[in-house]
Amino acid sequence: MAKILGGITTSHIPAVGNAIANGLQEDPYWKPFFDAYPPIHEWLAKVKPDVVINIYNDHGLGFFLDQMPTFAIGAAHEYKNEDEGWGLKPLPPFPGDAKMSWHIIEGMVKQEFDITSCQELAVDHGFTVPMQLFWPGLGDNPDMPRAIPISANTVQHPIPTLKRALDFGKALRKSIESYPDDVKVVVLGTGGLSHQLDGERAGFINKEFDLMCMEKIVSDPEALTKISRHELVRQAGAQGTEFLMWMMMRGALGDNVKLLNQNYHIPISNTGAGTMLLECV
């Protein structure tokens, strides 16, 4: 039977990929951000997950505004990264787990979530940056797990509510734990926290709201479901809607979690960047 070990949150801003490519981890601008990750590397090296469920939002590479599924799950044997600018070379393909993907898709549909299944899926920085942050070296890292991407719509309104996101995670947990093979799983909730990249509030960050969300997502995630979509945009900015992917991750962890590590840093690319390591207990 598959077992969920824990969940990890991280920002996935594309500038991080550029910083990694150029070795800027010790640069004064970047160091407070990258300092959050060594304790997580140690935990991952200890527990050695076989599969990572990477919950992210696509930014126009795999999907676009004319065709934006609410929830999509990759069911491919590998996932390819493509050119997103910055002058960076595309990363090597990420190995998938199609067998487990189809099991999860079947389980989610059985629990009445309508899923877009993707037997081919190009993955952008929303997926690739977290993989680079948690498994440095990617294919050269002997502990790099197989990946199953789950894309959520945080861009084209109407987006899911935070309650729907948490419920998705709860259904995802049941689907994973019903998988018959002995597989160790870690779930990533990526994106955010508060940020707005355009419009009159460009550069908006709400540290107080971010820290409240980081506290409640550990102890009382149900309380966060009372935040409406409009209120989320008001409090966290237009792109702060990515917090719903944290809620999807949290729902997959069950009722009780232990906070092992956290970091909050601003402003990296005008984003409130939060990193958390939650272990299932």
**Concatenated DSSP letters of 82-105:** ---STTPPPPPPEEB-HHHHHHHH
Active site (annotated) includes residue 41: no
Domain boundaries, the chain: 3-280
pLDDT band at 129 (very low <50, low <70, confident <90, very high): very high
Catalytic residue among 125, 157, 230, 265: 125
Q: Output the six-digit token pair for 145.
A: 């797990």
- pLDDT by residue (tens digit) across 159-173? 999 999 999 999 999
Active site (annotated) includes residue 103: no
- pLDDT by residue (tens digit) across 215-249? 999 999 999 999 999 999 999 999 999 999 999 99
Contact by Cβ (8 Å): 61, 14: no
Q: Does residue 85 surpass a pLDDT of 80?
A: no
Sign of dihedral through CA atoms 112, 100, 38, 240?
negative
Catalytic residue among 12, 103, 195, 265: 195
Length of the chain: 281
* Burial of residue 264, with CB atoms counted within 10 A of its CB: 0-12 exposed, 13-18 middle, 19 or more buried: middle
Per-residue pLDDT, averaged over 77-90, amounts to 84
Other Cβ atoms closer than 10 A to 87: 7
Q: Does residue 88 surpass a pLDDT of 90?
A: no
CATH homologous superfamily, domain 3-280: LigB-like (3.40.830.10)
Beta strands per DSSP E along the chain: 3-10, 51-56, 71-74, 78-81, 94-95, 116-118, 122-123, 146-152, 184-190, 257-268, 271-280
Other Cβ atoms closer than 10 A to 263: 19
pLDDT band at 65 (very low <50, low <70, confident <90, very high): confident
* CA–CA gap between residue 186 and residue 225 (Å, rounded): 23
